[in-house]
Structure 1
Amino acid sequence: MTDNTTDKISPKLIAAILATGILNFAGITVETAMNITFPILIEQFNIGISTVQWMTTLYLLVVAVTVPISSFLKRRFTLKKLFIVANLCFIAGVVLDAIAPSFSVLLLGRFAQGVGTGIALALMFNIILEQVPRQKLGTMIGLGTLITAVAPTVGPTFGGVMASSLGWRYIFICLLPILIFSFILGIMTIEQKTEPQKIKLDVVSFIAIVATLVGAHLQALFDNSL
């Protein structure tokens, strides 16, 4: 007779995945939600369309730069520390954007959110791959993928409702309670199964990745302006 106890996912592990999943969901939702607010931001901050597009461009750049170093971060630091940094960065970014007096402050908040989302995206799947029993791995990977796939469809509706009824700043304000819940849940449930290693970041490769991504985005923006 086979032992099915090893096939079960503990409630604590499910809660840890949920905590990181909420952070991912919030990151992707707010990214698509803010696209709806471009006309409002252009009028309020007296900026052009090419400037307001940096709301999305900067955020995606930071996420794209952060994700490739997730392997280093995972081996160098504990999962809980990474989660705390990701969540606090996101919360700081949300607060900055909710009170932003200028577009530059708004971009700073988006930068912080990009760091948080970039770390959280890899963190959720790292927890799934490391701690979920092999028999349940496909199901949990599918669930994690579903979280990231559903968020873009929710974002525009959420952004449109908030911007038209309460104001665009409430896109960020409404996320705060959810992020705080995610933070508390993650602190209580995320566990470390492997010991961190004292490894060094390949700085040259990291700079090359940043230069490539930034160059590609700037080239795309230049081509679109022609």
Structure 2
Amino acid sequence: MYQERASRLTGAVVWTNTPSAGPRAGRVLPDGCMDLLWHEGRLLVAGPDTRAYRTDGAGARAGVRFFPGTAPAFLGLPASEVRDRRADLADLWPAARARRTAARVDAAADPASGLEEVALALAADAGPPDPLLRRIVTALDAGRPVAATADELGVGARLLHRRALTAFGYGPKTLARVLRLQRALRLARDGMPLAETAVTAGYADQPHLAREVRDLAGATLGQLLGGG
């Protein structure tokens, strides 16, 4: 059973996923985020995905999902280094630091609480997040074109692309596609007709929405809405 709650870290979400009837494969959709996660005693970093990530459903999991663009400053690594990966924290950090972090999670009442404490400490050490990154997310999530976003933020297209690679793991056009997919799913799950969902979310039409869903999610919209 999957559960989530708002974290004490601004913009982050704390989640747990405990199999209730044996292992069942799952699908994690691209959302522009990175996670610090625990899986059967291992600490991993889930990088930003460009395609759906399939899980085997085995074992309990817990994680902290960071607001898009914030995790690289907390973790001390560019998002592009872990794009489309689930990497052991011990392979990304010095061994002693990774061990101390694992021990902190193990000492907590539960892995989710331990991960949240780690995330709060990382954020405190990193200092205030770069406000430009949130402005990029806000503009693209509102459906603003990439070129218009660069102009509005007063940055060149090349600088925007470099900043996006470091913070989000991919360029602003891919981030815009991912955010648009999530926008469409929210509308469809709220009961909006699919043709209206497509236009409202920023697609040319319903077939365009269907192609993008299959490309990014590896499934049809009907399968996603039905939990398949």
With the shorter chain as reference, the TM-score category is under 0.3
Rg: which structure is higher? Answer: 1
| Higher strand proportion | 2
- Alignment TM-score, normalising by the size of structure 2: 0.24
TM value normalised by structure 1: 0.24
Higher relative contact order (CA 8 A, sep 6+): 1
**Higher helix proportion (structure 1 or 2):** 1
